[in-house]
Amino acid sequence: MHREQTGAAGGEAPVDPLAGFTVGVTAARRADELGALLRRRGAEVMHAPALRIVPLADDSELLTATQQLIDNAPEVVVATTAIGFRGWIEAADGWGLGDALLDRLGEVRLLARGPKVRGAIRAAGLTEEWFPASESMAEVLDRLLEEGVEGRRVAVQLHGEPLPGFVESLRAGGAEVVGVPVYRWMPPEDIGPLDRLLDATVARALDAVTFTSAPAAASLLDRAERRGMRERLLDAFRRDVLPACVGPVTALPLEAHDVPTSQPERFRLGPLVQLLATELPGRVRPLPVAGRRLEIRGHAVVVDGELRTVPPAGMALLRALARRPGWVVARSELLRSLPGAGRDEHAVETAMARLRTALGSPKLIQTVVKRGYRLALDPSADTKYADV
């Protein structure tokens, strides 16, 4: 497991690289896999599928792709799902193209994603050349790239969202890729989770949002537009919330709105998570406070390498203090940083007491009588911390 290299005090285990951060996941397919990878590195995950995948019963795009493959045979066809492959053959039968499609597929190299797809291929009277026992598209991609795809025509049965980076990697290797869309992307039936993700992004309650397909990014932007919050969403992505895309094609809808995105060098889920595990901790500015090393993360604080969970009100106070480390922040200003606190400055004292308890070191925050509070920035700290 990837860990931060900076160890904790007293020989404790190092903090997971994504501990204290919350990451949004917009994927519909493989969301469980992506979420597990993120949680394994310490992140909290908010899942809100931006799409749902609907099989195509009768679609002109699929018909066009089928006719093109019959007329101009690819060298390789990659079948990704059993239900999708069966649906493709059934749709071709309905158009009177079933026999022609089967004849063409019998002439090309047919790769299957796994045993279930192999069963569908053989049920159609065809034979696959190879399939990975792992059912991993990454292994299929590795095999194709190792063989070399420069100048080759590869047809890929698209199974909705995503195939993260698969098509992009083939094209980067010089292949001509023909997509066979056996599913249609539609907005999710339950829009509630997506709205909650939007609200959390705009409120900066998320540290990053992941995208594994361009349609997912476009769907999120469309929903924000419908709710009259697109500009606030774009501002959050430009300033505070990291949009992490699996590849350059996925990033296009965001970059069309001048949103800079982060992308891994290899267009896959693992490298995407590794990117977050590097970039999110790298955004944190360590503060030397009262002889301790303080890192303020999304919903937690790392004190001398030890993760400390802090209540939301305490995090709001700590962020207000950290904007000007070492400077006194008035109670009235701190009160404004507390959501729903009203006008009672006693709420600041209550939240401050809980914050100090959560940090495990009361000396990190000093009370300045009749004035407010300040982070006890070390006198020897670099002057760059004097005013931020």
pLDDT grade for 13, boundaries at 50, 70 and 90: low
Query: Which CATH number among 3.40.50.970, 1.20.120.80, 3.40.50.10090, 1.20.20.10 corresponds to the domain 53-186?
Result: 3.40.50.10090
Q: Is 342's pLDDT higher than 80? A: no
Q: What span, in angstroms and rounded, lies between the C-alpha atoms of 355 and 347?
A: 12
Q: Does domain 9-51+188-282 have CATH number 3.40.605.10?
A: no
CA 176 to chain centre: 28
Q: Can you tell me the mean pLDDT for 254-282?
A: 93
pLDDT, residue 56, reads 66
Lowest mean pLDDT among 68-82, 119-133, 144-158, 335-349: 335-349
The number of beta carbons lying within 10 Å of the beta carbon of residue 207 is: 25
Mean pLDDT of the chain: 87
Half-sphere exposure of 368 (CA within 13 A, CB side): 13
- For 112, the enclosing helix (H) or strand (E) is strand 109-112
String of b and e for 291-301 (b: at least 16 CB within 10 Å)? ebebbbbbbbb
For residue 1, pLDDT beyond 60? no
Q: Is pLDDT of 163 > 50?
A: yes
**CB of 350 closer than 8 Å to CB of 290:** no
pLDDT of residue 48: 96
pLDDT of residue 26: 96
For 183-217, the pLDDT digits (tens) are: 777 889 899 999 999 999 999 999 999 998 888 99
Choose from 76-80, 130-134, 348-352 the range with maximum mean pLDDT: 76-80
Pairing between strand 292-296 and 300-303?
antiparallel
pLDDT on residue 107:
95
CATH 3.40.50.10090 occupies which residues in the chain? 9-51+188-282, 53-186
The answer to whether 259 and 237 are in contact (CB under 8 A) is yes
According to DSSP, the β-strands at 176-181 and 153-158 are: parallel
pLDDT of 341 reads: 60
Q: Is the peptide bond before 288 cis (omega within 30 degrees of 0)?
A: no
How would residue 323 be classed by pLDDT, with cut points 50, 70 and 90? confident
Helix locations, 240-268, DSSP H: 248-255
**Portion of the chain with pLDDT greater than 90, in percent:** 55
Query: 200 Cβ partners below 8 Å, 6+ apart?
Result: 22, 24, 46, 206
Q: Give the per-residue pLDDT at 45.
A: 97
Check whether 147 has a pLDDT greater than 80.
yes
The pLDDT value recorded for residue 336 is 85
* SS3 category, 321: helix
Q: Does the pLDDT value for residue 5 go beyond 90?
A: no
pLDDT category of residue 133 using cuts at 50, 70 and 90: confident
Q: Are the beta carbons of 26 and 172 closer than 8 angstroms? A: no
Mean pLDDT of 159-184: 81
Going from the C-alpha of 184 to that of each of 78, 161, 187, 195, the distances in angstroms are 18, 9, 10, 22
Find out if CATH 1.10.3720.10 is the number for domain 287-385: no
* Secondary structure (DSSP) of 29-74: SSHHHHHHHHHHTT-EEEE--S-EEEE-SS-HHHHHHHHHHHHS--
pLDDT band at 219 (very low <50, low <70, confident <90, very high): very high
Token pair listed for 321 = 């203090």
Judge contact between 209 and 26, C-beta under 8 A: yes
Q: In the chain, where does the domain assigned CATH 1.10.10.10 lie?
A: 287-385
The confidence score (pLDDT) of residue 386 equals 43
Check residue 183 and give its pLDDT.
75
Q: Considering just the CA atoms, what is the radius of gyration of the chain in Å?
A: 26
Quick: pLDDT tens for 103-117. 999 999 999 988 889
99-108, 185-194, 337-346, 353-362, range with greatest mean pLDDT: 99-108
| Distances in whole angstroms, Cα of residue 321 to Cα of each of 82, 106, 310 | 56, 68, 15
In this model, does residue 19 exceed pLDDT 60?
yes
Three-class secondary structure assignment of 273-289: HHHHHHHHHHCCCCEEE
Q: Are the C-beta atoms of residues 258 and 252 closer than 8 Å to each other?
A: no
